[in-house]
Structures are given as C-alpha cells and as structure tokens.
Amino acid sequence: MAEGSAEVEALEQEIENTFLRLSKGGRNEDDTEKLRHHWRVILKNLSFCMYQLNWLLVSTNKNTYTHHFIPRSLGLSYNPTVQVLKSLEEQGLIVRLKGKRYENAPVLTRIYPTAELMERLWQYFIAIEEEIEPPYLFIKEGEHGWEDYRSFLPDDHYEVREMEQINEFLKGHDWACKGPVTLRYKHSVLQGGRLYNAFQALPDRRMRIRINTTIDGKPIGEVDFSANHLRLNLAYDKGVDAGATPYEDIGEAAGGLTRVKVKEFITVAMGADNAGKAASRCALAGISGQDFQRLTEAAHRVFPDLDLFTGWGIHGQNYEGQILKQVMLEGIKKDIVCLPVHDAVAVQQEHLKWAEETMLECWDRQMETSGLARVKVDFP
C-alpha cells in the first residue's frame, strides 16, 4: 500500500482489533507477526478482487507453498493461510468455493468477500499497489503459459528498452490499481502484443468505477479508438476508410440490427479462423443463426475488403498494442501519464486534446495511412 497513506494505518488497526484478535489463539510473537502478514496480504487481495469483480484464488495444497513462485514471493506459507481462510469463513465474511482436481490444471479454492466484509474493505483499495519491476515483456508458449520474453531477446532489444522506459516513468506517479504495464505476445511477435495492466480490469460498464478514479490526484478521461479492429483491418494493405459509423452502416444493411449486436459479431468474426467457429461463438453471445447470416452478408456488402473468419483479430491486437505503446512513449516526452485501456488511453483531463491528436498521429504512423482512424472521448 502507498506509504504514509491514511489507509495503511486504518487497515493495521482493523487487522489488530478485529481479525487478529479472533484468530491468533496462543501463538508467540513471531508466529503472531507471521499471521498478521497473512491477514494483510489476503485482505488487500480481497479488496482488489472486489473492485475487479474477480474471484481470489488461494491454494490449500501444502506443496504449493514449498514449490510455487507466487506464494513464496508474497511471503505466504500453508498454516497461516489456512487459518485466515478458516477465520473468514467462520465469521461469514467470504463466499468459498472449493477447488477441483483436474489432471493438468487443478482449480484452486476461490473466495470472494460478502457484503459485510466489503463494507470493511472498500476504502483500502485506492492505496493498494503492485511492485513495478521486470519482466515487462511476455510470450505465451504452449503448456508453459506466460514466459519472460527477455530470455528470447538480446538485452538491448528495442521493446525491452521501451517497456523499461515506460515503467520507470510510471513509478513516480499514482493511479488506482498501480502496477506494471506489460506487453504480452501469443506464440510469436506477430500475434497478440497487447498491453496489460491491472487498471484496465476495473469495471466501467455496469459500474463506472475506472473512469471515476484519478491520476496523481486529478480527474481523468479516456480517449478510445472507434471501431478500431475493423478500421485497422481495412487500412492494412487496403487503405480503405470505414467512414464515421461503420457498425451502424452494417446494422442498417443487415435489416436494422443494433450497433451492440454488430460490434459483437465483428469482434467474433475477425477473431475466428473459420465461419463455423464464429457462428458457434456468436450463438453463445445471443446472435441467432439467421442474424449471423444477415450480418455476414451485410458486412461483405458494405465493406468488400473486410477480412472475416481468417483469424486476423490477433494481428489487430498486435497493431493496437504497438500504437498504444508509441502513445505512452510520446507521453513520457511531455511528462504525461497515459494508462492503456484495451483500445484506449486514460489521461488527466487537461491532456485529453493532446491524447486525441497523438493517438491519431501514432495510428497513421503505424499503419502508413492518413486520416483513417477515429477517436472519441469519455468523461466521468
């Protein structure tokens, strides 16, 4: 948690007067301090997950605490972890789902705070931080999951240097869910390449939390690329302008289907490598077989050059990641913090005009085009 913040002192008092008092039993001072540390870690993570609407995964397998990197890096051990979970459950402060044993990927125990615990934890969230330290560059390799991509690259590789420059700059600033910005590829440097950070996982649709946070104590706005993957696809080797309202144009051509439905279809159709897979995924998203056919025909009619069902989406992620990375690097030159949010950046409101102009410039530079991108601004 941010040093010197009021939240640090308040949480310590909460742990001492409530949680530790009910769980320490006859422990000596060394064991009590170890248990106190476990309360700190688990409660902070529960607060974090509460705002990100994620389960907190906790292992109840003793071997995990001997061999696995994550619990060791957090200073967690088996007995105190189990004691904290037991105490939380006995007090009715968590929902707990037991893990399941699968051969290759066992499911960990999942916990989530109840309303009563949320009332105690909500105010601590804003002060919670992750360490900003390398690696910042990853690649996904088969069963091994995400690996440090630096081991595949020379030390002076430009992307290693760029990600280090970005994160060193960010260390001196404050925002919600402060932590590293990482660049992640899937299988090759042509696939994926998206920027990830904890901030972008904050809810902002049903509950407008992310847009109502601050950067260095000042209110923010978000500048989004409009229909970005569709525009990237039409720009790549084609130079086609998608116009001001591409989703609406496809929806009208499909017989009046909504923008939301068109956007969902385009996202799936550009990501899938064949029409059959796309149809199945669209069905799960509530797009009927009839609407799928209408949307496919309409998209090809409105934009004959649009690549659908070829798996192009993962290449679109690559271009998107490169563009946003360049925006962040341009921001460093002006001492402006830019936080990547999927296909957008969050900046202090005083820098929104700069962000609009810079995003369009970086898009044109990356795609070797002019005037084919569009942006829109979102306020709290």
- Give the pLDDT of residue 156: 85
Tokens 């301090």, located at residue: 33
- Amino acid identity of residue 345, one-letter, is V
**pLDDT mean for each 10 residues of the chain (380 residues):** 86 94 91 96 93 90 86 92 96 90 73 96 87 89 67 83 97 94 79 86 88 96 97 94 97 97 96 96 96 97 96 92 97 98 97 98 96 97
Residue 104's pLDDT is 62
The CATH class that applies to domain 137-229+314-378 reads alpha beta
Residue 96, φ and ψ in degrees, nearest 5: -130, 125
The per-residue pLDDT for 98 is: 86
Distance CA 24, CA 21 (A): 6
Task: Name which CATH class applies to 6-127.
Answer: mainly alpha
What DSSP assignment string belongs to 236-304? TTT-----S-HHHHHHHHTTS--HHHHHHHHHHHHH-SSHHHHHHHHHHTT--HHHHHHHHHHHHHH-T
Q: What is d(CA 95, CA 86) in angstroms, rounded to the nearest whole number?
A: 12
Say which residues have a Cβ less than 8 Å from residue 154's Cβ, sequence separation at least 6.
none
Domain spans of the chain, in order of start = 6-127, 137-229+314-378, 247-302
Alpha-carbon distance of 139 to 146, in angstroms, equals: 6
- For residue 126, the model assigns a pLDDT of 76
So what's the pLDDT on residue 43? 96
The pTM of this model reads 0.86
Work out whether strand 375-378 and strand 218-225 pair parallel, antiparallel, or are unpaired: antiparallel
